[in-house]
Chains A and B, each alone.
Chain A
Amino acid sequence: MTEQVNMTQAPAQRVKKRKIASLDRRKARSGWFFVLPFVIGFIVLYIPILFESIKSSFYIYKLGENTKEFVGWTNYSIALFEEADFVQTLLTGLGEMAFNIPVILIFSLFVAVILNQKMIGRAVFRAIFFLPVVVSTGMMESLMNSSYAAGGEHLDTGAAESATEAVASSMAVEQLLTSVFEGLGFGVGLVEYIVSAVESISSIINRSGVQILIFLASLQSISPAIYESCQIDGATSWETFWKITFPMVSPMILVNGIYTIIDNFTTDSNSVMQEINRVYGSSAMGESTGQNVSSAMGWMYFAVVILVVGLLAAIMSAYVFYQRRD
């Protein structure tokens, strides 16, 4: 029997480590040149702002009196313990998020699958569904959802609410849905969840534009040959969806999930952000002013966001199916 030559060691010992070829090094240096605007901006603008913001959450500034005193964790303790609202709002925000994210993901996947099929008017529908992303903003949302109730009985809801909310939150629809789902044998909690999801359909539709787009693009990258072979083998469309489509878009579910969480967390209509803005505007709060407390609240909120995103990414990465390209 011939001796087994240990091939793993010999090459490394034989050849000295070579320096990077000068073309590579030149290329690496020009990489810095491309990234230069960001690096400059980050160092000159962003890091000082980050620094100041973190530091200022440990201080009390009174803008009127131009003083600054170091108070350590006071701002944080005011936010957590003395102000009753913050922890409450944080939990509500997390609850909202836990509710909205699955609904948005499921809905946008469903719509993307439908929009992917060939039909008349497909381009028109795609254009319409993506419109809220482009147009919708804080002001437009408040315009669309404002309920005008000052006099004039016949104009008593805002533009968006007048048709959909009036129908969706009417008692009849709620009872109908509840009875249907209870008849199917779902538990009460799930039924309530579904009913409240249907009622807030307007806000869900308006917030899933980008997710629909990403899912759509991902669906288009699945080659039709796979579907054809499934059809030849006699799979129903239900089976095709769960066995083929769903695993192949699962990386996108992760991406969309993270994007939705970040979007939800940083948009101003989130309840926690509104709370932070409100505190920012208020003048005196315990020992320190509203601005300092709001900055402390902002940082705690950010820590919670990072935690949640990290958790979600870790959990979902385990389940994601990556198609190996051999």
Chain B
Amino acid sequence: MDNQPVVKRESKKKIRVEFERTSLKERLKTKYLSAFFLKNTLWFIFRLLLLIGIAFVVIQPFITMIIRSVMAPQDFADDSVMQVPRNLSMVIYKGVIQDLSYFEFFAETFMFSLVCALLQTFACCLIGYGLAKFKFRGSKIVFLAVILTLVIPHGTLQTALFVHFRYFDVLGIFSFLSGNTGIGWIDNIMGILPKEPFTGGGFSLLGTWWPLILMSATGLAFKNGLYIFMLRQFFRGVPDELEESAYLDGAGTFRTFVQVILPLSIPMMITVFLFAFCWQWTDDFYVPLFFDTLKTAERPALMYYITDTTKINSSLIFTAAKEIATAKGEGGFSVAIKYCCGLMACTPLVILYLFCQRYLVQGIERSGIVG
């Protein structure tokens, strides 16, 4: 045997063990020239390349948008400039902020999305908790109703939504009270339209924030069924013992909910809030539907002033910049303006997302949909 250790006694309390170690070369050879190591390295490289490739596909539009939006106008007329700008200029950003009144829009959209998202989060938490933990007779039916709201495409309900909020009337009470219709209010129950439509009572809620606020507070807004479903699965995973101990201490059900269950479910709530906020911010169905009467420029949706070409055309900064771009580069410059608008509209979302994204996987994982 080669590697017999040799034990020497140096002094009374100290011994020294010498043994022959395999040489450095052999050690390195067995570690790094093995098939195992090679396979792992190849897999590492392959995986990294694959992920970088896919990430590139995702990120690349944004990179192009950023680059195009900081190109100086004269570069659009210049044929030799392809992707890398020769001159940088922030003129587009200046134009968007000043002439298109970015910050006012931003504030309005932000408030609107915030209010709607908060309402949706709380409403969906309440409803999800009720469906998860309480066995009352109609719970299955209510759950089916929730799934139904998720499955029906909102396009089919377009006209009906519009008409319903145009002549908003809760179970015919308002027209009954105001005596505004020739038909008795029995006919107005369940929204059965009276024989003469559009002379019915009620008042118009279009053009205000109310339709979406009402829908958010009742858990009927865009994809709220999904949130309710996720939250229900999550609350099911919370052990019953927690609630029971709270009941023993004398708390009612609502107080238990607020003080015991909600602090546990903060990752999930952040996930739902993030989704709700982002989908409300980028909403392109409900906002045009309900704010149809307002001009594009007055809607609380930042995304819409991208398409407001009148404002772009009337902006002084942009016309001056277009002069520099000359006719040849004008098309590219207009597209760059759109890119910049899109970027400015999406950046708040990206920032919010970066703050919240570590809660996302955590939230879904603990939601009990999985496992």
Contacts and interface: CB of A to CB of B under 8 A. Distances in A.
Interface of A: 27-35, 37-42, 44-53, 55-56, 61, 66, 68, 111, 114-115, 117, 119, 123, 125-140, 143-144, 146, 148, 150-155, 159-160, 162-164, 201-202, 205-206, 213-214, 216-218, 220-221, 252, 255, 259, 262, 265-266, 268, 273, 276-277, 280, 291, 294-295, 298-299, 301-302, 305-306, 309
Interface string B63-84: 0110010000000100101100
Interface in B204-244: 214-215, 217-220, 226, 228
Contact of B157 (A33, A53, A153): A53
A32 B226 CA distance: 20
B85 interface: no
Interface SS of chain B: helix
Given A30-B134, A31-B134, A131-B353, A152 B55 contact: no
B219 A41 contact: yes
Interface of B: 44, 47-48, 50-51, 54-62, 64-65, 68, 76, 79, 81-82, 123, 126-127, 129-131, 133-139, 142, 145-146, 149-161, 163-164, 170-171, 190-193, 196-199, 214-215, 217-220, 226, 228, 252-254, 257, 274, 278-279, 282-285, 303, 306-307, 327-332, 335, 338-339, 342, 346, 349-350, 353-354, 357-358, 360-361, 364-365, 367, 369-371
Contacts of B164: 45, 48-49, 52
A37 B218 contact: yes
B290 to A, nearest CB: 13
Contact of B219 (A38, A134, A255): A38
B126 A37 contact: yes
A271 to B, nearest CB: 13
A151 B257 CA distance: 61
Contacts of B252: 30
A152 B328 contact: yes
Contact of B220 (A31, A45, A273, A276): A45
11 contacts: A35-B142, A38-B218, A45-B215, A55-B193, A68-B193, A127-B353, A135-B282, A164-B57, A205-B58, A277-B155, A298-B153
Contacts of B149: 42, 46
Contacts of B154: 266
Nearest to A34: B130
Nearest to B51: A125
